[in-house]
Amino acid sequence: MNNPDEPRLGCVGDASECAVIISRWIDATTWIPRRHSTEELTKMIEEGIPFREFWVLGDPIIAYLSYNRELSQIMGLYVDFPGVGLGKLLLDKVKKGKHFIQLWSHLANTSAHRFYSREGFSKMELNQSGQDGIPEIRFEWKIIA
């Protein structure tokens, strides 16, 4: 069993547990519509894992972060227990050795914005239609040499 306080690289077999985390978040979030079943989310995550730096935390998994190296972009960061440091553990792991990271966050997700700001990210631009039709803000983190 892995240390629940130490992120590990995820594998395709972790996709279903990660999809459940997203589904619970969707169910608990009033402003986001459900567009995909847990099974559809699992399939999307399975397809993305081989092309991403994919970190998971816990056994069973209680948090994950998906990072697209080509775009230097976090594609998803979801935790079962917000506010207890799980997101920071994952974010610190993905920041290691990098000088620039970007991500998009839904405009209504103000608690995530506070977290990203505390972690050194800056708001850069607004996209009113967002990738999924919901307004989003792009954040950037960078090390200035």
DSSP letter, residue 43: H
Q: In the chain, what percentage of residues exceed pLDDT 90?
A: 89
pLDDT at 145 over 80: no
Cα separations (Å) of 94 from 21, 109, 130?
19, 21, 24
Mean pLDDT of the chain: 94
In this prediction, residue 4 has a pLDDT band, given cuts at 50, 70 and 90, of low
Which token pair is 1? 């069993």
Angle at 104 between CA 143 and CA 96, to 5 degrees: 35
Q: Looking at residue 2, what is its pLDDT? A: 46
pLDDT in tens, 8-29: 999 999 999 999 999 999 999 9
Q: Domains in the chain, ordered, with CATH?
A: 8-142 (3.40.630.30)
